[in-house]
Amino acid sequence: MRLRRVSWRSWIVLAIILVAAGAAGGVFLRRDSNTAVPSPPPSSAEMAEAQSMPTDPSVGGSRDGRRYVIVPSESRALYRVGETFLRFDRPGVAVGVTQAISGELSMDVEQSTEGVFGMVRVDLSELTSDEPRRDRAIREQWLQSAQFPIAEFRPTGLELHAPYQDGQELPVTVHGELTIRNLTRPTAWTGSLILEGDTLRSTVTTQIRMTEYGFEPPSVLGVLRAEDEASIEVEIVARRDDS
């Protein structure tokens, strides 16, 4: 059988068809393949734009404020509870005090509603009054501070009732959560605050009910009965620490 000679024009046409078919096949293969095709590296303009985008301050950020550490030797916490000696029908006030207080505060007086953060801890087992028998009964029976020694206050908000000025005593309300005997309750404290140089001084008080924290007021049958409501006062001296 005699083969016909193919002209050079026919070879060119055939080559064009094969190239086109191969390109089309490659497109279909890339579309159907499960293998990821790596993206091209970002341009310098895209990288600059990404670096200029703001970051979320809640992730790895820190609050802008002055950090103060409590000085226990210059601070104290105390309670005042009304009590009645039944035999004599004589009312009185029991007072217990401790300097076993620690913690730190981060203060930003420019943010009056969110300007205080940190934790204040008081060792209730160290509370002492003028009556050792009362202190022992509080530790072992009523407050059970031998079993639940630490009370914690976590501030969540600060209200300044006058414009802030360094060295000036300001009336304040501090909002937060008070934990006693592993029970936490929202609490508001009222008092005063002074920021003078690197020293913070504050005296605040609040009222609680013992029954709200899971224990009954002290009572000795026929001898003594204490009121449910107690006044708690905290006097803090703290010094700035930027370390």
Per-residue pLDDT tens for 55-103? 333 322 334 578 999 999 999 999 999 998 877 777 899 999 999 999 9
At residue 143, what are phi and psi to the nearest 5 degrees?
Answer: -70, -25
Q: How confident is the model at residue 162 (pLDDT cuts 50, 70, 90)?
A: confident
Read off the pLDDT of each residue in 180-197 and give the average, rounded to a whole number.
Answer: 95
Residues 57/64, Cβ–Cβ less than 8 Å = no
Q: What is the spatial distance between Cα 65 and Cα 172, in angstroms, rounded to a whole number?
A: 17
- Average pLDDT score over the chain: 77
CB-based burial, 229-238: b 16+ in 10 Å, e otherwise:
ebebbbbbbb
For residue 159, is pLDDT > 50? yes
